[in-house]
């Protein structure tokens, strides 16, 4: 395996600690007084490990957009970051924002009966492709502490295996109105040792499930279409059958689809799944999502085979009434509206060959 090289640039990092005993409603904050030093060797090690972790676990990502609804009890992460992006982003403005985020987390933590919190590492960095990102990472608060005086120290806790969960916000796309309108799913979730609980996703980060469902369903279907029609030797029947399998699977799992399980049905061989992810590495394929009903309908396909007839009809053709099922005087027909006359020409050709 090739050696990992971190080509991202760390701009700011700050560490706060917010902990709570399970089954209590009081959280204790231990806030930093300044940002962690960028040139410290343990800071560099942590950042390398963080980038390595998200680079090697892309299949476990989930994506979401910010909820547009305003909270009744104060600001959300989207409000805080919106204020931050309008500032001159120096060390002080970054630090002030991290304090606001830590206190927001404390407030949400106290409403979650079973949650315990941990060491919160907040980073701002630039990716290799010049995207500006803001990451909020929660590390387990263990007996072997990750921090000492709000700085990283040498310990086993520096290992990213102790990451509980994280949210990465794509600031560059958020500020680009055209790109944001095309895909508002600017929040990238990574679940480590803990599940992404609702208090973290909805109450703390302020994510919306409505837009997420639409975009993630569309993304996985576009990725599958690209794989079958362009990424490998195109076989029309194979792509049609895949869409039929997807429709059935979505109907059987209306509340949540685990992408890995869906791919196991469509392409059971692990090598083929690796190939699927490889050729779709520019797409944000979510690890899990709720199927979006109206989006699913666009990809449905009807396949009928009987007595020398093979008929494949896409949902869009039915919606446009290019193909209709009709009953006339007790007789049942499938009516094909040959708008451009191509079907007539084909039938004429067949008739002449008799």
> Over the stretch 137-173, which tens digit does the pLDDT of each residue have?
887 755 445 566 667 776 554 555 667 778 899 999 9
Query: Residue written as tokens 């020398």?
Result: 308
Query: How many residues are present in the chain?
Result: 354
pLDDT at residue 137, rounded to an integer = 86
In 3-state terms, what secondary structure has residue 131? Answer: coil
Q: Are the beta carbons of 15 and 150 closer than 8 angstroms?
A: yes
Residue tagged 């960095």 (tokens): 125
Q: Are 147 and 153 in contact (CB under 8 A)?
A: yes
State the DSSP string of 177-230: HHHHHH----EEEEESSS---HIIIIIII-EESHHHHHHHHHHHHHHHHHIIII
Taking residue 227's Cβ as centre, other Cβ atoms within 10 Å add up to 21
Looking only at the bridges linking them, the beta strands covering 207-208 and 61-66 are antiparallel
Cα separation of 42 and 144, whole Å? 15
Which positions ≥6 away from 131 have C-beta within 8 Å? 170, 171, 172, 173
* Contact assessment for residue 83 and residue 134, using Cβ atoms and an 8 Å cutoff: no
**Nearest alpha carbon to residue 226 among 278, 289, 298:** 278
Q: For strand 132-139 and strand 27-30, is the pairing parallel, antiparallel, or unpaired?
A: unpaired
SS3 9: strand
Q: What is the pLDDT along the chain (354 residues), one digit of tens a residue?
A: 445 567 899 999 999 988 887 777 888 888 999 999 999 888 888 898 888 888 777 777 788 888 776 555 567 788 888 888 887 778 999 999 999 999 988 888 887 766 777 888 999 999 988 999 999 988 775 544 556 666 777 655 455 566 777 889 999 999 998 998 888 889 888 765 455 566 667 777 877 764 578 888 999 999 998 998 887 666 667 888 888 889 889 989 988 898 999 999 999 998 899 889 888 888 888 888 888 888 888 877 666 677 777 766 766 666 667 777 677 777 776 777 766 666 666 566 555 555
Element (H, E) at 148: strand 147-148
Q: Pinpoint the alpha helices (H) of the chain.
A: 41-56, 77-85, 91-109, 171-175, 177-182, 198, 210-226, 236-252, 259-266, 270-279, 293-299, 315-319, 342-352
pLDDT (0 to 100) of residue 1: 43
How high is the pLDDT of residue 316?
65
Residue whose C-alpha is closest to residue 187's, from 213, 208, 203, 158: 208
Secondary structure (3-state) at 335: strand
Q: Classify 67 as helix, strand or coil.
A: coil
Under the phi-then-psi rule, with left for phi > 0, alpha for psi from -120 to 50, and beta for the rest, what region is 34? beta
Query: What's the confidence (pLDDT) of residue 72?
Result: 53
């Amino acid at each position: 395996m090739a050696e990992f090289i971190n080509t991202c640039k760390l701009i700011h990092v700050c560490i706060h600690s917010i902990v709570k005993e399970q089954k209590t409603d009081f959280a204790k904050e231990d806030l930093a007084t300044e940002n962690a030093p960028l040139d410290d060797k343990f800071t560099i090690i942590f950042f390398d490990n963080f980038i390595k972790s998200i680079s090697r676990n892309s299949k476990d990502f989930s994506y979401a957009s910010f909820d547009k609804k305003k909270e009744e009890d104060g600001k959300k992460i989207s409000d805080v970051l919106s204020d931050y992006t309008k500032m001159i982003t120096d060390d002080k403005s970054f630090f002030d924002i991290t304090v606001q985020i830590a206190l927001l987390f404390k407030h949400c933590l106290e409403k979650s009966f079973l949650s315990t919190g941990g060491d919160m590492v907040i980073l701002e960095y630039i990716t290799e492709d010049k995207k500006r990102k803001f990451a909020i990472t929660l590390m387990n608060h263990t007996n072997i502490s990750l921090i000492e005086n709000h700085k990283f120290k040498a310990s086993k806790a520096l290992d990213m295996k102790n990451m509980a969960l994280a949210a990465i916000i794509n600031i560059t796309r958020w500020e680009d109105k055209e790109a944001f309108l095309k895909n508002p799913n600017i929040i990238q979730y990574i679940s480590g040792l803990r599940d992404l609980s609702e208090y973290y996703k909805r109450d703390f980060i302020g994510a919306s499930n409505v837009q997420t469902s639409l975009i993630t369903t569309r993304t996985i279907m576009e990725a599958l279409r690209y794989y079958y029609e362009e990424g490998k030797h195109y076989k029309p029947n194979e792509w049609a059958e895949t869409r039929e399998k997807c429709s059935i699977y979505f109907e059987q799992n209306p509340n949540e689809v685990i992408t890995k399980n869906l791919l196991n049905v469509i392409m059971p061989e692990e090598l083929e799944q690796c190939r699927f992810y490889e050729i779709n590495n520019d797409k944000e394929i979510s690890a899990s999502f709720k199927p979006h009903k109206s989006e699913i309908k666009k990809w449905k396909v009807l396949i009928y085979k009987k007595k020398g007839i093979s008929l494949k009809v896409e949902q869009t053709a039915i919606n446009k009434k290019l193909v209709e099922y009709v009953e006339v005087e007790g007789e049942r027909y499938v009516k094909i509206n040959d708008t451009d006359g191509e079907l007539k020409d084909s039938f004429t050709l067949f008739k002449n060959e008799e």
